[in-house]
Amino acid sequence: MKLQLALDRLTKDECMRVLNDAEKEMDIIEIGTGVIKEYGMAIVREISERYPDKTIFADMKTCDAGKHEAQQAFDAGADITSVMAFSADSTIKDMLHAASQTGNRVMVDLLGIHSSDRVNELYKLGVDLVSLHVGKDMQAEGNLFNSDLFSLLNGFDDMEAAVAGGINLDTIAAVAREKPDIVIVGSAITKADNPQKAAAQMKSFIQNS
Protein backbone atom coordinates (compact mmCIF):
# COMPACT_ATOMS: atom_id res chain seq x y z
CA MET A 1 0.00 0.00 0.00
CA LYS A 2 1.36 3.41 -1.00
CA LEU A 3 0.68 6.83 0.44
CA GLN A 4 -0.15 9.61 -2.02
CA LEU A 5 -0.08 13.21 -0.78
CA ALA A 6 -2.64 15.37 -2.59
CA LEU A 7 -1.57 19.01 -2.88
CA ASP A 8 -4.94 20.68 -3.36
CA ARG A 9 -6.39 24.10 -2.61
CA LEU A 10 -2.93 25.44 -1.69
CA THR A 11 -0.71 28.23 -2.92
CA LYS A 12 2.60 27.31 -4.51
CA ASP A 13 4.46 28.35 -1.35
CA GLU A 14 2.18 26.16 0.76
CA CYS A 15 2.74 23.21 -1.60
CA MET A 16 6.49 23.59 -1.32
CA ARG A 17 6.33 23.95 2.47
CA VAL A 18 4.22 20.82 2.92
CA LEU A 19 6.47 18.85 0.57
CA ASN A 20 9.53 20.05 2.40
CA ASP A 21 8.02 18.87 5.72
CA ALA A 22 6.41 15.60 4.68
CA GLU A 23 8.36 14.41 1.65
CA LYS A 24 10.03 11.50 3.44
CA GLU A 25 6.67 9.79 4.16
CA MET A 26 5.33 10.10 0.59
CA ASP A 27 5.42 7.47 -2.10
CA ILE A 28 3.49 9.54 -4.63
CA ILE A 29 3.20 13.34 -4.86
CA GLU A 30 -0.09 14.52 -6.36
CA ILE A 31 -0.27 17.97 -7.89
CA GLY A 32 -3.99 18.64 -7.50
CA THR A 33 -6.32 19.86 -10.22
CA GLY A 34 -6.83 23.29 -8.64
CA VAL A 35 -3.10 23.80 -8.19
CA ILE A 36 -2.54 22.93 -11.87
CA LYS A 37 -5.32 25.35 -12.85
CA GLU A 38 -3.62 28.09 -10.83
CA TYR A 39 0.00 27.51 -11.81
CA GLY A 40 -0.19 25.47 -15.01
CA MET A 41 2.14 22.70 -16.08
CA ALA A 42 5.07 24.75 -14.73
CA ILE A 43 4.36 23.57 -11.19
CA VAL A 44 4.26 19.92 -12.30
CA ARG A 45 7.62 20.46 -14.00
CA GLU A 46 9.11 22.21 -10.97
CA ILE A 47 8.01 19.57 -8.47
CA SER A 48 9.05 16.67 -10.70
CA GLU A 49 12.51 18.24 -11.10
CA ARG A 50 12.79 18.93 -7.39
CA TYR A 51 11.71 15.38 -6.40
CA PRO A 52 13.15 13.10 -9.12
CA ASP A 53 12.94 10.02 -6.89
CA LYS A 54 9.21 10.35 -6.19
CA THR A 55 6.36 9.20 -8.37
CA ILE A 56 4.60 12.33 -9.65
CA PHE A 57 0.84 12.28 -10.21
CA ALA A 58 -0.67 15.19 -12.16
CA ASP A 59 -4.38 15.23 -11.33
CA MET A 60 -5.40 16.62 -14.73
CA LYS A 61 -8.94 15.14 -14.45
CA THR A 62 -9.05 15.15 -18.24
CA CYS A 63 -12.47 14.61 -19.84
CA ASP A 64 -11.68 15.40 -23.50
CA ALA A 65 -8.66 15.94 -25.74
CA GLY A 66 -7.03 12.96 -24.05
CA LYS A 67 -3.93 12.63 -26.20
CA HIS A 68 -3.02 16.31 -25.86
CA GLU A 69 -3.58 16.51 -22.11
CA ALA A 70 -1.78 13.24 -21.37
CA GLN A 71 1.17 14.49 -23.41
CA GLN A 72 1.14 17.79 -21.52
CA ALA A 73 1.32 15.95 -18.19
CA PHE A 74 4.05 13.52 -19.25
CA ASP A 75 6.12 16.25 -20.94
CA ALA A 76 6.03 18.16 -17.65
CA GLY A 77 7.47 15.16 -15.81
CA ALA A 78 4.36 13.42 -14.48
CA ASP A 79 4.57 9.64 -14.15
CA ILE A 80 0.79 9.31 -13.86
CA THR A 81 -2.06 11.49 -15.10
CA SER A 82 -5.83 11.22 -14.52
CA VAL A 83 -8.96 11.05 -16.65
CA MET A 84 -12.60 11.04 -15.60
CA ALA A 85 -14.34 7.68 -16.00
CA PHE A 86 -17.34 9.22 -17.80
CA SER A 87 -15.11 10.46 -20.65
CA ALA A 88 -15.52 9.01 -24.13
CA ASP A 89 -13.81 5.67 -24.59
CA SER A 90 -11.69 7.28 -27.33
CA THR A 91 -10.36 9.86 -24.83
CA ILE A 92 -9.34 7.13 -22.41
CA LYS A 93 -7.85 4.95 -25.17
CA ASP A 94 -5.79 7.88 -26.50
CA MET A 95 -4.43 8.54 -23.02
CA LEU A 96 -3.57 4.90 -22.45
CA HIS A 97 -1.78 4.91 -25.79
CA ALA A 98 0.16 8.09 -24.94
CA ALA A 99 1.16 6.53 -21.61
CA SER A 100 2.29 3.30 -23.24
CA GLN A 101 4.58 5.27 -25.57
CA THR A 102 6.41 6.91 -22.68
CA GLY A 103 6.26 4.22 -19.99
CA ASN A 104 3.79 6.23 -17.91
CA ARG A 105 0.36 5.48 -16.45
CA VAL A 106 -3.21 6.73 -16.43
CA MET A 107 -5.47 6.67 -13.37
CA VAL A 108 -9.18 6.68 -14.13
CA ASP A 109 -11.15 8.70 -11.57
CA LEU A 110 -14.42 6.91 -10.75
CA LEU A 111 -16.06 10.01 -9.20
CA GLY A 112 -19.79 9.78 -9.91
CA ILE A 113 -19.64 6.22 -11.27
CA HIS A 114 -22.09 3.89 -9.52
CA SER A 115 -22.24 0.95 -11.90
CA SER A 116 -19.71 -1.82 -12.29
CA ASP A 117 -20.80 -1.98 -15.97
CA ARG A 118 -18.69 1.13 -16.60
CA VAL A 119 -15.82 -0.41 -14.62
CA ASN A 120 -16.08 -3.45 -16.87
CA GLU A 121 -15.94 -1.25 -19.97
CA LEU A 122 -12.87 0.50 -18.60
CA TYR A 123 -11.27 -2.86 -17.87
CA LYS A 124 -11.87 -3.93 -21.46
CA LEU A 125 -10.22 -0.71 -22.69
CA GLY A 126 -7.09 -1.79 -20.82
CA VAL A 127 -7.44 0.42 -17.75
CA ASP A 128 -5.37 -0.99 -14.89
CA LEU A 129 -5.47 1.84 -12.34
CA VAL A 130 -8.61 3.49 -10.95
CA SER A 131 -9.49 5.73 -8.05
CA LEU A 132 -12.52 5.45 -5.83
CA HIS A 133 -13.23 9.06 -5.02
CA VAL A 134 -15.57 10.91 -2.68
CA GLY A 135 -15.39 14.48 -4.02
CA LYS A 136 -14.96 17.59 -1.85
CA ASP A 137 -18.51 18.79 -2.44
CA MET A 138 -19.89 15.32 -1.72
CA GLN A 139 -17.91 15.33 1.53
CA ALA A 140 -19.54 18.66 2.43
CA GLU A 141 -22.94 16.99 1.97
CA GLY A 142 -21.92 14.39 4.54
CA ASN A 143 -20.78 11.63 2.18
CA LEU A 144 -17.61 10.29 3.67
CA PHE A 145 -15.56 7.21 2.95
CA ASN A 146 -17.58 4.06 3.34
CA SER A 147 -16.43 0.53 2.66
CA ASP A 148 -19.39 0.01 0.23
CA LEU A 149 -17.42 2.15 -2.22
CA PHE A 150 -15.07 -0.77 -2.74
CA SER A 151 -17.88 -3.06 -3.95
CA LEU A 152 -17.70 -1.25 -7.31
CA LEU A 153 -14.42 -3.07 -7.89
CA ASN A 154 -15.60 -6.57 -6.93
CA GLY A 155 -14.30 -9.03 -9.51
CA PHE A 156 -11.70 -6.62 -10.92
CA ASP A 157 -8.74 -7.90 -8.98
CA ASP A 158 -6.29 -7.09 -11.81
CA MET A 159 -6.99 -3.39 -11.47
CA GLU A 160 -4.95 -1.36 -9.01
CA ALA A 161 -7.17 0.75 -6.80
CA ALA A 162 -6.57 4.08 -5.15
CA VAL A 163 -9.00 5.63 -2.71
CA ALA A 164 -9.49 9.36 -2.02
CA GLY A 165 -11.84 11.70 -0.32
CA GLY A 166 -11.47 13.20 3.14
CA ILE A 167 -9.39 10.33 4.54
CA ASN A 168 -8.08 11.28 7.97
CA LEU A 169 -6.64 9.65 11.07
CA ASP A 170 -10.13 8.57 12.19
CA THR A 171 -10.94 6.77 8.93
CA ILE A 172 -7.59 5.52 7.67
CA ALA A 173 -7.78 2.23 9.57
CA ALA A 174 -11.09 1.34 7.87
CA VAL A 175 -9.67 2.37 4.48
CA ALA A 176 -6.50 0.36 5.00
CA ARG A 177 -8.54 -2.74 5.93
CA GLU A 178 -9.84 -2.78 2.34
CA LYS A 179 -6.23 -3.07 1.13
CA PRO A 180 -6.26 -0.49 -1.67
CA ASP A 181 -2.99 -0.17 -3.56
CA ILE A 182 -2.83 3.58 -2.95
CA VAL A 183 -4.29 5.72 -0.16
CA ILE A 184 -4.67 9.36 -1.22
CA VAL A 185 -4.66 11.93 1.56
CA GLY A 186 -4.97 15.69 1.10
CA SER A 187 -6.24 18.05 3.77
CA ALA A 188 -5.63 15.74 6.72
CA ILE A 189 -1.93 16.26 6.02
CA THR A 190 -1.75 19.62 4.23
CA LYS A 191 -3.95 21.41 6.80
CA ALA A 192 -2.46 19.68 9.85
CA ASP A 193 -0.56 21.81 12.38
CA ASN A 194 2.36 19.47 11.81
CA PRO A 195 2.15 17.94 8.29
CA GLN A 196 5.22 15.78 8.84
CA LYS A 197 3.74 14.21 12.00
CA ALA A 198 0.35 13.67 10.36
CA ALA A 199 1.99 12.09 7.31
CA ALA A 200 4.14 9.83 9.47
CA GLN A 201 1.05 8.67 11.42
CA MET A 202 -0.79 7.93 8.16
CA LYS A 203 2.21 6.08 6.78
CA SER A 204 2.56 3.96 9.88
CA PHE A 205 -1.14 2.98 9.69
CA ILE A 206 -0.86 1.80 6.10
CA GLN A 207 2.46 0.04 6.66
CA ASN A 208 1.05 -1.91 9.57
CA SER A 209 -2.21 -2.91 7.89
Ligand X SMILES: O=C(CO)[C@H](O)[C@H](O)COP(=O)(O)O
Q: Which residues bind ligand X (CB under 6 A)?
A: 6, 8, 30, 32-33, 59, 135-136, 164-167, 184-188
Q: How far is the CB of 78 from ligand X (least distance, A)?
A: 14
Q: How far is the CB of 66 from ligand X (least distance, A)?
A: 18
What is d(CA 70, CA 165) in angstroms, rounded to the nearest whole number?
23
- Whole-angstrom CA distances from 184 to 120, 141, 148, 187 are 23, 20, 17, 10
What is d(CA 174, CA 178) in angstroms, rounded to the nearest whole number?
7
Report the residue number, 97 or 143, with the smaller CB distance to ligand X.
143
What is d(CA 61, CA 67) in angstroms, rounded to the nearest whole number?
13
Q: How far is the CB of 41 from ligand X (least distance, A)?
A: 18
Q: How far is the CB of 182 from ligand X (least distance, A)?
A: 11
Report the residue number, 70 or 133, with the smaller CB distance to ligand X.
133
Report the residue number, 4 or 104, with the smaller CB distance to ligand X.
4
Q: Give the residue ranges of DSSP H helices in 103-154.
A: 116-125, 136-140
Q: How far is the CB of 163 from ligand X (least distance, A)?
A: 10
- Whole-angstrom CA distances from 99 to 64, 69, 75, 148, 168 are 16, 11, 11, 31, 31
Report the residue number, 70 or 183, with the smaller CB distance to ligand X.
183
44: left (phi over 0), alpha (psi -120 to 50) or beta: alpha
Whether residue 29 contacts residue 54, with contact meaning beta carbons closer than 8 Å, is answered with yes
Report the residue number, 107 or 122, with the smaller CB distance to ligand X.
107
What is d(CA 166, CA 70) in angstroms, rounded to the nearest whole number?
26
Nearest residue to ligand X, by Cβ distance, number only: 186
Report the residue number, 64 or 100, with the smaller CB distance to ligand X.
64
Compute and round to an integer the Cα radius of gyration of the chain. Answer: 16
| Alpha-carbon torsion angle 12, 18, 22, 23, nearest 10 | 10
Q: How far is the CB of 207 from ligand X (least distance, A)?
A: 19
